[in-house]
């Protein structure tokens, strides 16, 4: 309704301020998929609708626990490993989850939904962004840039990659992508808000950009054929990190620090001992920092001598580069836990896949 020359918003303001706001038995709910329109035209309006919103209700995606309960209600009883993989493919979006067929396996469902000719989500990407953001060209440039680097980009790096102007419009686009949960903004350890990193966080978009985009004649059974493909293993490892970040409260609960104030960040740096990258750091107020190592594997994860050396070096580089005086504790977040052997003693705490399905406190 709110086309360029419709004057809809002016009429809406007149209706609400002149009559609607005075009615005691009237509640107006503004909702829909046009997120930027609601944010810019209603919630952030500086004119006649300023401060008119009495409550903001954010409809969040399902958690892993909620996804499992929803699938069971649909007669879908998969292993938690398959549920996590499904979550990494389409996120906790009920509309996407509703497309799953309870008579098909997880692999067959993904083939049917994404890769079968005229599958339900084969052309969803363009429709999604045009619906949410209207003129989506600038947004897509940002998304495509972020999809090339899993650890994310700073604002300066986004400008360099997209050639977008460093102005208020870019700020608005980044804000809209963040508010819509397509992008996560987080700090680099030790820099506070001085070095914000933007990371692509939407599961459907991550999956589409890697496996669907640009494929004109896809293998209709690609996901089944990719069961042991290196590209799938790489995607799963990176995307499982996103799942852990989206369930950070349960990660904290599993290691027994739910009540502790913490700062969540990532880090990469260089010292005399070399260079290292840490995807998840939980910096605690009790003079302890948890260095989290995240692994998605089909069974128990085995730490051998080489990997133990790598972990020790990573912590040493972090200590030297940041000059942190806090105690460092290594947390392994895995699907089925760490196999006990001569090298597993380096791990102070473990978080398993099942912990991510727990009830949040």
Q: Where are the domains of the chain?
A: 1-59, 61-246, 248-357
Q: What percent of the chain has pLDDT over 70?
A: 97
Cα three-residue angle 345-351-325, rounded to 5 degrees? 60
What one-character DSSP code corresponds to residue 210? I
Residue 203 CA to residue 88 CA, distance in Å, equals 6
| Sign of the dihedral through C-alpha 152, 178, 233, 84 | positive
Bridge partner list, 284: 262
325-342 per-position pLDDT tens digit: 999 999 999 999 999 999
Question: Over 80: is that where the pLDDT of 135 sits?
Answer: no
**Could you tell me where the beta strands, DSSP code E, fall in 223-310?**
262-271, 274-284, 288-295
Per-residue confidence (pLDDT) for residue 194, from 0 to 100: 63
pLDDT above 90 for 144 = yes
**8 A C-beta contact, residue 7 and residue 15:** no
pLDDT at 86: 97
pLDDT digits (tens, 9 = 90+) for 278-333: 989 999 999 999 999 999 999 999 999 999 999 999 999 999 999 999 999 999 99
Mean pLDDT of the region 80-88: 97
Judge if pTM exceeds 0.95: no
Map tokens 């042991």 to a residue: 228
Residue 242 confidence (pLDDT) above 90: yes
Q: What is the dihedral sign for C-alpha 51, 57, 59, 62?
A: positive
Q: Does domain 248-357 fall into CATH 3.40.1350.10?
A: yes
Class assignment of domain 61-246? mainly alpha
User: Does the pLDDT at position 215 exceed 90?
Assistant: no
């Amino acid at each position: 309704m709110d086309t360029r020359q419709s004057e809809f918003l002016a009429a809406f303001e007149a209706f609400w301020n002149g009559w609607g706001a005075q009615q005691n038995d009237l509640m107006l709910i503004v909702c829909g998929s046009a997120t930027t329109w609601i944010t810019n035209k209603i919630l952030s309006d500086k004119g006649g609708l300023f401060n008119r919103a009495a409550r903001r209700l954010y409809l969040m995606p399902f958690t892993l626990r909620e996804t499992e309960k929803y699938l069971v209600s649909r007669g879908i009883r998969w292993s938690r490993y398959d549920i996590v993989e499904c979550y990494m493919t389409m996120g906790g979006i009920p509309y996407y989850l509703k497309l799953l067929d309870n008579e098909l396996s997880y692999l067959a469902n993904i083939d049917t939904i994404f890769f079968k000719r005229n599958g339900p989500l084969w052309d969803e990407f363009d429709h999604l962004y045009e619906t949410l953001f209207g003129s989506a060209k600038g947004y897509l440039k940002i998304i495509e840039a972020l999809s090339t680097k899993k650890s994310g980009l700073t604002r300066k790096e986004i400008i360099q990659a997209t050639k977008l102007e460093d102005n208020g419009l870019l700020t608005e686009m980044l804000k809209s992508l963040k508010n819509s949960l397509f992008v996560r903004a987080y700090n680099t350890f030790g820099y506070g808000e001085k070095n914000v990193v933007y990371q692509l966080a939407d599961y459907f978009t991550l999956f589409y950009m890697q496996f669907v985009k640009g494929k004109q004649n896809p293998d209709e059974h690609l996901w089944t054929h990719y069961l042991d493909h290196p590209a799938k293993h790489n995607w799963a490892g990176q995307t499982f990190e996103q799942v852990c970040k989206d369930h950070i409260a349960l990660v904290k609960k599993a290691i027994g620090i739910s009540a502790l104030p913490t700062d969540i960040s990532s880090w990469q740096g260089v010292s005399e001992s070399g260079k290292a990258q840490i995807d998840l750091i939980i910096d605690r107020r009790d003079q302890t920092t948890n260095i989290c190592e995240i692994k998605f594997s089909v069974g128990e994860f085995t730490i051998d001598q080489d990997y133990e050396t790598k972990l020790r070096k990573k912590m040493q580089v972090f200590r030297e580069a940041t000059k942190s005086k806090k105690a460092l504790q290594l947390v392994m977040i895995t699907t089925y836990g760490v196999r006990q052997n001569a090298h597993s003693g380096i791990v102070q705490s473990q978080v398993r896949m099942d912990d991510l399905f727990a009830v949040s406190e």
